[in-house]
Chain A
Amino acid sequence: MLENLLATKLHVPRSRRDLLPRPRLTERLDNGLRRKLTIVSAPAGYGKTTALTSWIDHSQLQIAWLSIDEADNELDRFLTYLIAALQHLDDGIGLDVQAALSESRAASIETLLTRLINEVEAVMSEQEHRNQFILVLDDYHLITTQSVHDALNFLLDHLPSAVHLVVAGRSDPPVPISRLRVQGEVTEVRTPELRFTKNEAAAFLNDMMGFALSTEEIAALETRTEGWIASLQLAALSMDGRGDMEAFIADFSGSHRYVIDYLIDEVMSRQPADLQAFLCQTSILDRFSAPLCDATLEITTSRQILGKLEGANLFLIPLDDERHWYRYHHLFANFLGQRLLEADPEHIPELHRRASQWYEAQGLVDEAIQHALAAGDLKNATRLVDQIAADLVARRESNRLLKLINQLPPYLWQEYSMLCIWHAWALLFTGQLEYVEPVLQNAEANQGKALETPISGYVTTVRAYLANQRGDFIKAISLTEKALEQMSDAAPDRITLIFQGAAIIWLGVNHRHLGDLDQARRLFMEAASLNQKAGNIYAALASLEQLADLAMIKGQLHQANEIYGRGKELARKWSDESGKSRGTLLAASGVHQGLGTILYQWNELEGAEHHIRRALKLHELGEVWGRMHSYWMLGYLKQAEGDYKTSYDLLCRAWAIRENITAQQSNISSEPGLEQLSILLSRADPDMAHLLTDAAQRLETRGLKLDNAVDFSSPEDYARESEYSDLVRVLIALDRADETLPLLERLLEAAQSMGRHGDEIRYLILRTLAFYAQGDNNSAMSSLNLALHQAKPEGYVRIFVDEGEAMAALLAKAVSQEIVPDYSAELLAAFPDEVRHAIDFDPELLFTSQPLVEPLSERELEVLRLMADGLKYKEIADKLVISVNTVRHHTRNIYGKLDVNSRAQSVARARDLGLL
């Protein structure tokens, strides 16, 4: 049903079979296809829509049609329908953009439109016949908001060549018409073209309607109506079956009355009273079906009446092919509405109220709310908003919920405790933190008594999240625990599960911030399963991402990879089951970012780029922090590929986003970003070195302690750990490594004691670099030794390689000193050639003969490989078609050259050397 109703906006109005052919218009419109825009502009009743539909029938081109109504003044809604119209071409168009629209902090409109335009272009270029297609925006004059006008102009400026845009309405759309004329890019079809000529009036009245009017009579009618088609149609209706046609024409021609007034009075006076009442009363409905009319008018005969109206040509426009939904011609609807206001104004709210009830019974709550508002029935409107609030929030349509609530008086919605809570939740998720607490307090005050459980638990959950957002983690933990306690006895219905799931994630996040990683891990696991049970996939994915992030901190790359894999699967299943729209696609952004980060660490750059670009594509549509992280990771990646120019551009974007966040949100000093970006940018471009000095100054003014006084077991210092590690990095980059050693010891201690082995590796590497910079090579090598041992089992690569030349020199030393030589050599191989040349190190030597006094022969290598496969001497001999003795001979040589005593040792050594 809902789909039906939406579809009516996208339905190309069917041209009637008994239509007057108007070849001059069709030809004009056809010629217009060579230009990019056609404007069809004339008052109501000049046959704009009819001219377009009969042209479309004739042209056989692909078509996307959007009938605009006043509600499309909301940009999101306009774009949603525009996408739906474009999906007539290909139902894959605009899915991401659609998903972004439902998010609160959406991407810039240009980004979304560019994406959409590119997708249309891609679809059009894939089509075999390279046909044009026509996008029609009908009734565009109803748009009054600048943002939609801007979108239209952007679309027009970037229109793919295969698309022809038609904008029809009662006034001109605000496009630069003079410029378009000069460029020859616009065709205009206006009143003089659209009005009936004398010949067309004659053909219409005599040939189509079957009158036998004289040339003079036709001329009289044409002059009086000035070729206005709607009034000629009404005139025909007035004359139909009338004996005194000459008298009518004479009266009509001589009258000064407004032509439509005159004619509709004539037409209406000839209809039975019940039909007149039907027409007037149904005019409150923007669109209607027989059941809706029955319910609104409390009659049972609507279907017959509608059939009669359609047959009588009484300006009834079918909105679908099945003849379920109709509307009146706008001109006629205005007149009928005016008549109703005149005849029966007290009855109007009641009609709206019944329409609202009918829509509610059909589950079309949106329409029900609109009619309840029109009826002035704010009580029911509030009740209905309360009914859909949970769904809106779960679908991440917080903005829409807020808009609806704004139309309701507070004294009403404050009565609904759940609506207040969802309201507060929506405010939280749209970043309007200061309004959250007043809403909750009002809710409690208006209840006049203490809230019952589990509702009190919901309120406490919202408060806990508020505390969390404000950085008060200790308060957040105690509030969350209280909330969970208040919900502990509740029946596990969906809403309770949603709140419990949310509370447990937040509890986990807060424990994590305070350093209790094990507790956090347990909570995230519980939250993941609880949220999955509640069907709150967003929250389930958030829990999994937290779990994976903890694994990364602990240096468990493989485990993190596995968790992200589970998340990816969950997101995929969700979008398969719930349709690829809404938030379902966006939900996978964090998972892709995580997978990309791990592959990057493993130096699988291609795979990493794939995932991060995917994440960026999704983040571009939604989350601003995520967007910054994606650009940042891509900047890393391009440096790894040696593409410093691109890296620089990407990092600048990340920087711009980051600065924008600073400008818009306060209290985010602890969030990472600018310092690490400064380091990366200075690596990408030596001219950016001043950023490092700036960063150091910034950090030093924040009161960070560079001595033993810092204590990461205290929550205050632990919360600032990332700032401290930024400081260390910046100072090392500024050749002030000696100042960092005391701090590094503290950082290392903290990471070790908490089992944060991922962080530990990072700090060991920094300490190695600091020692090396001081010239303390022994300490550097022993620190590196520890880092290599920690990092080897999980296959870390980039964490070393990204440190550049100094690290390469150290690793070369490690190889020659036989410190984890195989892994060190593998890491060295990942450095770019120029770095290896700079440190005078050739990996080729390493891999083949360097540690060997004498290289293995081809034959010996063959034997070695078969030994590694576990073959016995006899089997090796058979395989190589040589004698067992010869195999023994080769084996002895291999042992000698590799300086080993056993088969197992030789295989291990050969692996170390990269021979296998």
Chain B
Amino acid sequence: MANEIENSFPTVYEIKIKGHLNHRWDEWLYDLAITHESDGTTTLYGPIPDLTVLHSVLERIRDMNLQLISVNQVEAHPKVNSQTKTEGGEHSD
């Protein structure tokens, strides 16, 4: 049950990189929203269905030699309480 909830609401991530990345790359980055921050960084934001995709995004970032600043999981579905989330996480991959 927890698993189904996990699958129906993919985890949302926020990835920060140095520099301003052109919007043309969003297709390459699994349609993550590209936001230019005033401090010269770019935030990539959006749902990432599973860890494989997260790794693929990070690989793209590596292949483009973008400088990775941080990767954060964002609490996007408050309906799923944190305990269920942990349990689900054990099975989801």
Contact = CB atoms under 8 A, between A and B. Distances in A.
Interface in B18-48: 19-22, 24-25, 27-28, 36, 40, 42
Interface in B52-73: 59, 62-66
Interface of A: 43-46, 170-171, 228, 230, 255-261, 330-331, 334, 338, 341-342
A330 B36 CA distance: 26
A424 B64 CA distance: 45
A230 to B, nearest CB: 8
A258 B42 CA distance: 10
B22 A258 contact: yes
The 9 closest A-B pairs by CB, nearest first: A43-B65, A256-B20, A256-B40, A261-B22, A258-B19, A258-B21, A257-B20, A342-B24, A256-B19
Contacts of A43: 62-65
B65 to A, nearest CB: 4
Contacts of B65: 43-46, 228, 230, 260, 331
Contact of A170 (B24, B28, B62): B62
9 contacts: A44-B63, A44-B64, A257-B19, A257-B20, A257-B22, A258-B42, A260-B64, A331-B65, A338-B24
A491 to B, nearest CB: 53
Nearest to B67: A226
Given A338-B24, A338-B25, A342-B24, A259 B19 contact: yes
B14 to A, nearest CB: 18
Nearest to A46: B65
Contacts of A170: 62-63
Contact of B28 (A45, A228, A338): A338
A338 B62 CA distance: 16
Nearest to B61: A43
B62 A171 contact: yes
Interface residues of B, number: 17
Contacts of A256: 19-20, 36, 40
B62 to A, nearest CB: 6
A637 B36 CA distance: 78
A331 B22 contact: no
A640 to B, nearest CB: 58
A259 B17 CA distance: 13
B30 to A, nearest CB: 14
A588 B10 CA distance: 57
A258 B21 CA distance: 5
A911 to B, nearest CB: 81
Given A255-B20, A256-B19, 4 more contacts: A261-B22, A331-B63, A331-B65, A338-B27
A261 B63 contact: no
Contacts of B27: 338, 341
Nearest to A171: B62
A613 to B, nearest CB: 47
A788 to B, nearest CB: 73
B93 to A, nearest CB: 16
A434 B59 CA distance: 41
B46 to A, nearest CB: 19
A264 to B, nearest CB: 10
A261 B62 contact: no
A343 to B, nearest CB: 10
A398 B30 CA distance: 37
A259 B64 CA distance: 10
B63 A258 contact: no
Of B20, B36, B62, B64, most buried by chain A (CB within 10 Å of CB) is B64
Contacts of B21: 258, 261
Nearest to A191: B65
A261 B20 CA distance: 9
A330 B66 CA distance: 15
B34 to A, nearest CB: 10
B64 A334 contact: yes
B74 to A, nearest CB: 23
A230 B20 CA distance: 18
A255 B40 CA distance: 9
A256 B21 CA distance: 9
A341 B36 CA distance: 23
A421 B40 CA distance: 62
A331 B62 CA distance: 11
A225 to B, nearest CB: 10
A342 B24 CA distance: 7
Contacts of B19: 256-259
A495 B19 CA distance: 63
A255 B36 CA distance: 12
